[in-house]
Structure 1
Amino acid sequence: MPDVSSDLPAGSIRGWISLPENIRSPWWELGRRLLLALAILAGTVLLVFLDRHGYRDANDPTGDVGFIDSIYYTTVTLSTTGYGDIAPVTPQARMINAFVITPARIAFLVLLIGTTLEVLASQGREMFRVARWRKHMGQHVVVVGYGTKGRSAIETLVSNGQNREAIVVVDPSPIAMQEAHADGLAVVTGDATRREVLRRAGVAEASQVIITTDRDDSNVLATLTVRQLNPDAYIVAAVREHENAPLMKQSGANAVITSSDAVGRLLGLSSMSPMLGLVMEDLLTTGDGLEVAERDLLVTEVGRQPQSLPDQVIAVVRDEKVYRYFDPVVTQLARGDRLIVVRPARELPWAPRPGTHGEALASDD
């Protein structure tokens, strides 16, 4: 993905909110209708000029109508001005005016008036949609950068039950905006290191922010700005180089993913053990094979050992700390624990296993 500060030309709009839309742009419609209006005008001028002998010009001593007169007559006729200085005099010219030029006049006016109303209605509709979006936006997810990492993060969120309407993408690239719109996502176009751009994305009300640009310095600055705007947001940030991870955490990120280390480790595992590499890739792939998921502890599971549960428990979350399943601290599961498990991808990752739906959770009163 390009640098977040380099894709917008000088003077371009920053922080512009655009929602996914299925209809064509009003400016495309404007151009199309103007071309149709010009086609009607040109066709009518040609028709009048070819039948010019059926018209009389009261201001010309000879009464002849030339090409310029045909243009003049057509424009004042189609615009319903009708000065009357040029008029059809033969039956043929009058019939053409009645059955050809009059319908052309109506179509011409409908195109012009309809275009104006369409542009105003489209702008008003877009303003209403943005206002309604802002009103209902809260506790949403902001994803900075719609490159490969950002797109994969959103796919994972959506596959685990996150509503697409509650995800906002921040990216300066017009191409990224088109791709995000095609995926049904709202986009704020602009540089995510700028406070105003993040404000427009509703960062102050967001529950989570994912920062995935391809430049560590931009990620750090974006993280600092997000943390200033929203001290309570859960921030997940990606860094390319491992040495930048501590700086990212100092900037306010709750979780930092080192992309180069993760890819390098996966490559190394695949080299040493191709089958292990396939399993690790399976765990990281959404919607197929195995999934790593987090779920609540059931009432019936309180007091049991993690190894005795139907799910393959690999870790236990207790008091906001993560313990491995074999840690003596979590030998017996307690109310309020959450489980990190490996399970089939076809099961809903954030719900209890099939067959246990409807059972009371240990976190319930």
Structure 2
Amino acid sequence: MRALAVRVVAAVVLVLLTVLVIYIDRDGYRDLNEDGLSLLDCFYYAVVSLSTTGYGDITPVTPDARLVNIVFITPARVLFLIILVGTTLEVLTDQYRKNIRVTRWRRKLKDHIIVCGYGTKGRAAISALLETGYDKSRIVIVENREEALRQAAANGLVAIEGNATRSAVLLEADVKNAKSVIIATDSDEASVLITLTVRQLTAGQVRIIAAVREQENAALLKQSGAHHVIVSSSTAGRLLGLTTTTPPLIDVVEDLLTPGQGMALAMRSAERDEVGRNPRELQTLVVALIRRGKVMPLGGQQSITIDTGDMLIYIRDEENSGLGVAV
């Protein structure tokens, strides 16, 4: 729009300059009425001449007027056409380059993660993905705020402008080939609409992780198709309560959630020599066991042994960060 505005201003200035030149030498022109050129006639002649229309009802008759047409009007006409045609060519060229870039990008993109919303929650989710070693080029942001789009581009992330509730925008982000969709909007209503749209486009084949503000909307999101729902208000409330009653406990939670220092939660596959053993017997501190996508409780009197294909959630030292995938 800025480039278009500059060209419009340049075209208007060129027309006004041409009108001024014609008006100064208006006695050297003749129209069909032979009553001389008014200011309106000068505007008319300038516009039809610069646009190469040339009806012939106003013509230069004196040598000076014809010389002005040769020296000034003709080059101005060419410049005027360059401004108009140049604008069209630039728009078409930009569209062509964008289509080529998107085509090449989609050709390479697969099993990517779409993040709907680049606010506080969206940025935190992306930071967590990058800290676990996830490739930045496989993260696609969908955002409609100009400031957030600029910030995402400055951070080297792929960003698509648009409302994530619209099917066309999600299709542009290639949602059908995505690995998962993270919904981190500021509105619970928008989160529900995005969840429904993603489920409709992908037939439930893409994992949906959504964040909501209110606990009462969590059930609605799960019914809409979200696989995991995080309630930000209740989670923050629990942490506030822990800080009030048991301050040391919140320090442990923050240590587990803060990457690069102290302890961290990690996940790995069960090894062959661990199959058949109790998770409590392992050297690593296992806090949960995932079997076929379900969390197996380790507490109580029930004895649980590790099966082939189980995933172990354990606490690791950040100095040995290569031993598993942080979660």
Is this a same-fold pair by TM over 0.5? yes
> Partner of 1:261 in structure 2?
234
> Partner of 1:308 in structure 2?
283
Alignment of 1:191-206 (within 5 A): 192=165, 198-199=170-171, 201-206=173-178
TM-superposed CA distance for 1:259, in Å, is 1.7
Pair 1:40 & 2:14 matched = yes
When the two chains are superposed, the root-mean-square deviation of aligned CA atoms in Å is 4.5
Pair 1:270 & 2:243 matched = yes
Alpha-carbon distance between aligned partners in 2 of 1:224 and 1:85, rounded to the nearest angstrom: 67
Q: Is the 8 A contact 1:291 1:345 kept in 2?
A: no
> Partner of 1:12 in structure 2?
none
Alpha-carbon distance between aligned partners in 2 of 1:246 and 1:108, rounded to the nearest angstrom: 62
Q: Give the letter for the 1:255 counterpart.
A: H
Q: Give the letter for the 1:284 counterpart.
A: L
Cα gap change, 1:87/1:306 in structure 2, threshold over 3 Å: closer, same or farther?
farther
Alpha-carbon distance between aligned partners in 2 of 1:165 and 1:44, rounded to the nearest angstrom: 52
Give the structure with the larger helix fraction: 2
- TM-score under structure 2 normalisation? 0.71
TM-superposed CA distance for 1:211, in Å, is 2.8
- TM-score under structure 1 normalisation? 0.65
Pair 1:232 & 2:199 matched = no
Structure number with higher relative contact order (C-alpha < 8 Å, ≥ 6 residues apart): 1
Alignment of 1:40-79 (within 5 A): 40-50=14-24, 52=25, 56-59=28-31, 67-79=39-51
Segments of structure 1 that go 5 or more residues without pairing to the other structure are 1-26, 353-365
Alignment of 1:157-236 (within 5 A): 157-170=129-142, 184-187=157-160, 189-190=162-163, 192=165, 198-199=170-171, 201-216=173-188, 219-220=191-192, 222-228=194-200, 229-236=202-209
TM-superposed CA distance for 1:42, in Å, is 1.0
Cα gap change, 1:119/1:246 in structure 2, threshold over 3 Å: closer, same or farther?
closer
Pair 1:119 & 2:99 matched = no
Pair 1:141 & 2:128 matched = no
> Partner of 1:5 in structure 2?
none
Alpha-carbon distance between aligned partners in 1 of 2:53 and 2:226, rounded to the nearest angstrom: 68
Cα gap change, 1:67/1:231 in structure 2, threshold over 3 Å: closer, same or farther?
closer
Q: Is the 8 A contact 2:221 2:229 kept in 1?
A: yes
Alpha-carbon distance between aligned partners in 1 of 2:62 and 2:172, rounded to the nearest angstrom: 60
Q: Is the 8 A contact 1:188 1:201 kept in 2?
A: no
Alpha-carbon distance between aligned partners in 1 of 2:320 and 2:40, rounded to the nearest angstrom: 74
CA deviation vs aligned residue, 1:111-148 (integer Å, no higher than 9, x gap): 11101211222333344444445554442223344443
Higher mean alpha-carbon deviation, 171-180 vs 207-216, is at: 171-180
2:204 aligns to what SS in structure 1? Answer: coil
Cα gap change, 1:36/1:348 in structure 2, threshold over 3 Å: closer, same or farther?
farther
Alpha-carbon distance between aligned partners in 2 of 1:231 and 1:80, rounded to the nearest angstrom: 59
Q: Give the letter for the 2:63 counterpart.
A: V
